[in-house]
Amino acid sequence: MKNKYWIFASITVLLWGFASVLIRLTFDYFTAVTLGAARIWIAAATLLIICLIKKMPPPRPRDIPVFFAAGAVGFAFYLVFFNLGFARVTAATGNVALAATSLFSALLAVAVFKEKIRPLGWLFSGVSFIGLMILVFWNGLLSVNVGVLYTLFAAFLLSIYGLIQRWLTKRYKALQSSAYSLAAAAILMTPMLPSTIRDISAAPPTAIAVLIYLGMGASGISYLCWSKAFAIAKRTADVSNFNYLPPFIAGFAAYAIFREAPDLGTYIGGAVILFGLWMFQKKA
């Protein structure tokens, strides 16, 4: 199991890649805050029900502030800035900005946990980042605006969340660490309940269906798998480097859902990303 973290990380980025495309169907009906709040409540309910079925013990009182910190940076604030960013940039550009999570995570892990990454590891991480640049610059369409800044800040928050989860999963099962972090985030978003209910009641069935996917899949199941990957991986960077994959996945998702055909840059960039990830796992 120790070397199977990539299975859980792959499930996560697959769900995230589709989410970054599907989310377009909700922007006309939700604000950035109400969309984030709804996703959090759906995800929290999903994982807490599983915890109850499995009769998981509650968090220890001394760890509750840590769960609130995780809930704040990984869900409450992250999803708001994620939504603000993706409402202003293309899915490809937004995913490139989010891929900065890998770099932020690696730097923070080295600084906080004193993790070691070989020079070849940094080299092949850079190769994956070059693949991302190919994806975006192939047609010269990088949208540099405030949306990119929002998304970069979301990436920084997600990298902090990853470090907190690495700490929590040494004390709790991945299900517990994800569920209790989401529960804390749900509490933090309580003031948004009236406006969120109002937006949900006015949204069409398509937007509601996407919202359920975003909550249960892209926020609930994906974060559970993300925590599981951090729990069994040797280093933070082993998992965080998978953040380079969502742009590649989003390109094909956009074709499958909206018939936006991937260009040659998607294939070339995706191949470079996959090569960088594969070599990182072998050489880092």
Place of tokens 């929590």: 168
**Taking a C-beta distance cutoff of 8 angstroms, is the pair 251, 103 a contact?**
no
User: Quick count: other Cβ atoms within 10 Å of Cβ 148?
Assistant: 18
d(CA 94, CA 196): 24
d(CA 47, CA 240): 22
Place of tokens 């940094």: 122
**Taking a C-beta distance cutoff of 8 angstroms, is the pair 40, 76 a contact?**
yes
d(CA 151, CA 154): 5
Q: What pLDDT was estimated at residue 61?
A: 95
**Residue 245: both structure tokens together:** 């994959």
Place of tokens 């600084």: 111
**Taking a C-beta distance cutoff of 8 angstroms, is the pair 111, 221 a contact?**
no
**Residue 262: both structure tokens together:** 């991937």
Q: What pLDDT was estimated at residue 283?
A: 63
**Taking a C-beta distance cutoff of 8 angstroms, is the pair 276, 112 a contact?**
no
90 φ/ψ sector (left φ>0, alpha ψ -120 to 50, else beta): beta
Crossing angle for the helix pair 32-53 and 205-212, nearest 10 degrees? 50
Task: Write the CB contacts of 96 (distance below 8 Å, at least 6 apart in sequence).
Answer: 132, 133, 135, 136, 142, 247
The tens-digit pLDDT sequence of the chain (284 residues) is 556 888 999 999 999 989 988 998 999 999 999 999 999 999 999 999 999 999 999 999 999 999 999 999 999 999 999 999 888 877 766 777 777 777 777 777 777 767 777 788 778 878 877 876 776 666 665 545 687 788 889 989 998 998 898 889 889 998 999 999 999 999 999 999 999 999 999 999 999 999 999 999 999 999 899 888 988 888 777 887 787 788 778 877 877 877 766 667 667 876 787 787 777 766 65
Inter-CA distances, 245 with 16, 77, 178, 251, Å: 10, 23, 22, 10
Determine the longest span between alpha carbons in the chain, in angstroms: 53
Range 166-171 contact pairs with CB under 8 angstroms and sequence separation of 24 or more = 166/109, 166/113, 166/230, 166/231, 166/236, 167/66, 168/63, 168/66, 168/67, 168/70, 168/227, 169/227, 169/228, 169/230, 169/231, 170/231, 171/63
CA 129 to chain centre: 17
